[in-house]
Chains A and B, each alone.
Chain A
Amino acid sequence: MDQFTLNLLVVGATFALYIGIAIWARAGSTSEFYAAGRGVHPVTNGMATAADWMSAASFISMAGLIAFGGYATSSYLMGWTGGYVLLALLLAPYLRKFGKFTVPEFIGDRFYSPTARMVAVICLIVASLTYVIGQMTGVGVAFSRFLEVENSTGLFIGATVVFFYAVLGGMKGVTYTQVAQYCVLITAYTIPAVFISLQLTGNPLPPLGLFGDHLPSGQPLLETLDQVVTDLGFAEYTAQDGSPSSVINMVLFTFSLMIGTAGLPHVIIRFFTVPKVADARWSAGWALVFIALLYLTAPAVGAMARLNLITTIYPGGVAEESIDYEARPDWVKNWEQTGLLSFEDKNGDGKIQWYNDSSESFAATAEANGWAGSELTVNRDILVLANPEIAQLPGWVIAIVAAGGLAAALSTAAGLLLAISSAVSHDVIKGTINPNISEKGELLSARVSMAVAIGVATWLGLNPPGFAAQTVALAFGLAAASIFPALMMGIFSKRVNNTGAVAGMLAGLLFTLVYIFLHKGWFFIPGTNMFEDSISGSLLGIQSTAIGSIGALINFGVAIMVSRSTDEPPQEIQDLVESIRVPRGAGSAQAH
């Protein structure tokens, strides 16, 4: 059986499974559509949250980022997991106790302000829509590489499947497909990693292999990697840039990712689906267990893939002759066809040289070797997808990796679309335009909103705005600077009032937005930026990706100061805060 047929069979089987689940898990009420009837087991919800959270970026891109960035990229690992501690300790149990359906609904009720609710809706929609673009393009890329169809055809197939289970089943359908998608994606991620770890270190557990010994050289894997990368002029893999500005930026960036994670609405609403407050606490722990399975493997995959790439090019070691272009392995040929990996013989010797040609200190060595520039261009995103081929694993593993990449992208897309459609039908239509809408009418409008959201996301996936890659920083910045502080103050302070909360959210939001625009260009239009987006060139010495943490501090500061100089919240709001702080009575709050 050829690779194409295998891919088709495995991907087809997983899609059939998702559709089967959709038919089984139809939603009959708004409670089922928004919160899966609040009957999801905490472990099941943990698994669904893991799939909801881990996107195409986690599955496909993260290990590649780590492979080429080394220690500095640890921010992603700590930031995207550390946010769950904040969720479990500061938000999830209380929002579950509150017992409503959306994040803007909590902000609107707690701050007794329709304005606050609408500001939250806008932040939610902007953050979720920018995020969904990446998932949709990811679906298109995975389809075109593994199933040899047009990018747009792949996108339509993916969108149709999401349409099926998200429109029919709402949160209920999304939850159970996410569980299935988690199983597919974690299997796909782990199998190649285990084999590569075995080949390089003899240890079947990649996280242990990362800190184990490299079999061919007999010395620790990371020491070997540090040696070969520095021998090629690259920065040492494990080294830390100890300059104060770089350390501060790493701290702020990590912190932004943490509070951004805790403030992303599509993650928060997953905790509305469990039966009890205690379950929300456990469930955050289980979510991190399932996320950690991938996040502990990713740094191992990154380091090992980097080492494998170098050994492929320099089979006799970096001091010896590199490989002849004609003798390159099959996986290099496969990926050359996609354009994501390319070779240009700059010095005409017929061999592949790959080194850091922008390092001044290495230039003399390169010249002495007769090298005229690095000849291989590797897109970071191919490392995970090419892993099974690099490790020479059988064809069915490649097919599972294809299904895994699609599962990661589809599960996150569905979660984001659900957050958007609930905000539109529950906060905008029922909350503002037509408060007297019937249960049936609201369910229908939720389904229609979902269908429209899928349509918009598909269109954006087909015509991605040029700034698509930049907008992830925007999504995290918005969640960090506007949503997280508002939620936290709503729970932990009885004094913060409507004026304070709105002023705080707007201040955090505007500061973050303007700072990002100043460095990335106004509305991301290239060339309109006024500062260079680097540590030394930026306005405050902080890169725009890390600015969400400052925006959050501004939000806290403004909200607290404005609240102190205005009236305290009415008694019933203070009672509401009292009541969300204790778990007792969560069951009754459910029916409203």
Chain B
Amino acid sequence: MAGESSNNNSYWAANIRLVKICLVIWALASFGFGILLRPLLSGISVGGTDLGFWFAQQGSILVFLILIFFYAWRMNRLDIEHGVDEE
């Protein structure tokens, strides 16, 4: 029982670490590049405008997509590594 609970704790800690990394990227792509940091990126031009505009209208959505699939893939592996997967 003690073994199971410490295993669950390390599983949860690994999950929290992964969630934090993903959320930093999530915020950087949308609030960061798309809004707050847009003036800093204004030198990089993309199709008649700048990189910040691209992130606000397209880039952020593509980053979100990659993030969710990456998280699902990593978590499903973590489940198996820690022996907490279903089946």
Asked if A235 lies at the interface with its beta carbon under 8 angstroms from chain B, I say no
Given contacts A276-B86, A281-B75, A296-B61, whether A221 and B47 have CB atoms under 8 Å apart is: yes
Asked if B3 lies at the interface with its beta carbon under 8 angstroms from chain A, I say no
What's the Cα separation between A581 and B84 when bound, in Å? 10
Chain A stretch 423-464: residues in CB contact (< 8 A) with chain B: none
Query: What's the least CB distance linking A168 to chain B, in Å?
Result: 31
Contacts of B64 in A (CB 8 A): 81-82, 84-85, 288
Contacts of B15 in A (CB 8 A): 581
Contact in complex: A247, B36 (CB < 8 Å): yes
Chain B stretch 1-59: residues in CB contact (< 8 A) with chain A: 5, 8, 11-12, 15, 19, 22-23, 26, 30-31, 34-36, 38-39, 46-50, 52-54, 56-58
Given contacts A77-B57, A222-B47, whether A278 and B34 have CB atoms under 8 Å apart is: no
Selected from B8, B22, B67, the residue in CB contact (under 8 A) with A582 is B8
Given contacts A281-B76, A582-B11, A582-B84, whether A219 and B48 have CB atoms under 8 Å apart is: yes
What's the Cα separation between A288 and B64 when bound, in Å? 8
Q: Mark A212-248, 1 if CB is under 8 A from B, else 0.
A: 1000000111111010000000000010101000010
What's the Cα separation between A292 and B69 when bound, in Å? 14
Contact in complex: A285, B68 (CB < 8 Å): yes
What's the Cα separation between A282 and B47 when bound, in Å? 33
What's the Cα separation between A276 and B79 when bound, in Å? 12
Contacts of A242 in B (CB 8 A): 39
Contacts of A254 in B (CB 8 A): 30-31, 35
Q: Of all chain B residues, which has the CB nearest A225? A: B48
What's the Cα separation between A226 and B12 when bound, in Å? 49
> Secondary structure at chain A's binding surface: helix, strand, loop or mixed?
helix
Contacts of A226 in B (CB 8 A): 48-49
Given contacts A82-B60, A251-B35, whether A222 and B49 have CB atoms under 8 Å apart is: yes
Query: What's the least CB distance linking A278 to chain B, in Å?
Result: 5
Query: What's the least CB distance linking A300 to chain B, in Å?
Result: 9
Q: Of all chain B residues, which has the CB nearest A42? A: B72
Contacts of A581 in B (CB 8 A): 8, 11-12, 15
Q: Of all chain B residues, which has the CB nearest A221? A: B48
Query: What's the least CB distance linking A265 to chain B, in Å?
Result: 20
What's the Cα separation between A40 and B64 when bound, in Å? 24
Query: What's the least CB distance linking B39 to chain A, in Å?
Result: 6
How many A-B pairs with Cβ below 8 Å? 144
Contact in complex: B31, A89 (CB < 8 Å): no
> Secondary structure at chain B's binding surface: helix, strand, loop or mixed?
helix
Chain A stretch 187-225: residues in CB contact (< 8 A) with chain B: 207, 210-212, 219-224
Given contacts A78-B60, A582-B11, A584-B86, whether A250 and B35 have CB atoms under 8 Å apart is: yes
Contact in complex: A278, B72 (CB < 8 Å): yes
Contact in complex: A285, B48 (CB < 8 Å): no
What's the Cα separation between A220 and B75 when bound, in Å? 42
Contacts of A71 in B (CB 8 A): 53, 56-57
Chain A stretch 543-592: residues in CB contact (< 8 A) with chain B: 578, 581-587
Given contacts A74-B57, A211-B48, A238-B53, whether A281 and B72 have CB atoms under 8 Å apart is: yes
Contact in complex: A74, B47 (CB < 8 Å): no
Given contacts A250-B35, A581-B8, whether A85 and B67 have CB atoms under 8 Å apart is: yes
Contact in complex: B61, A282 (CB < 8 Å): no
Given contacts A212-B47, A247-B36, A254-B31, whether A278 and B68 have CB atoms under 8 Å apart is: no
Given contacts A85-B26, A222-B47, A240-B39, whether A278 and B65 have CB atoms under 8 Å apart is: no
Contact in complex: B49, A89 (CB < 8 Å): no
For A82, A85, A254, which residue has the most chain B Cβ atoms within 10 angstroms? A85
Contact in complex: A77, B61 (CB < 8 Å): yes
Q: Of all chain B residues, which has the CB nearest A291? A: B61
Query: What's the least CB distance linking A202 to chain B, in Å?
Result: 14
Selected from A211, A251, A582, A585, the residue in CB contact (under 8 A) with B31 is A251
Q: A77-B60, A238-B50, A251-B36 are in contact. List 15 more A-B contacts (CB 8 A).
A: A74-B57, A81-B64, A210-B58, A211-B47, A211-B54, A212-B47, A220-B47, A224-B48, A247-B35, A247-B36, A251-B31, A254-B35, A292-B65, A296-B58, A582-B84
Show 15 A/B contacts (Cβ-Cβ < 8 Å), sorted by A.
A77-B61, A78-B61, A84-B68, A88-B72, A93-B75, A210-B58, A226-B48, A278-B72, A281-B71, A284-B72, A285-B65, A578-B5, A582-B84, A583-B85, A584-B84
- B residues apposed to A, CB below 8 Å: 5, 8, 11-12, 15, 19, 22-23, 26, 30-31, 34-36, 38-39, 46-50, 52-54, 56-58, 60-62, 64-65, 67-69, 71-72, 75-76, 79, 83-86
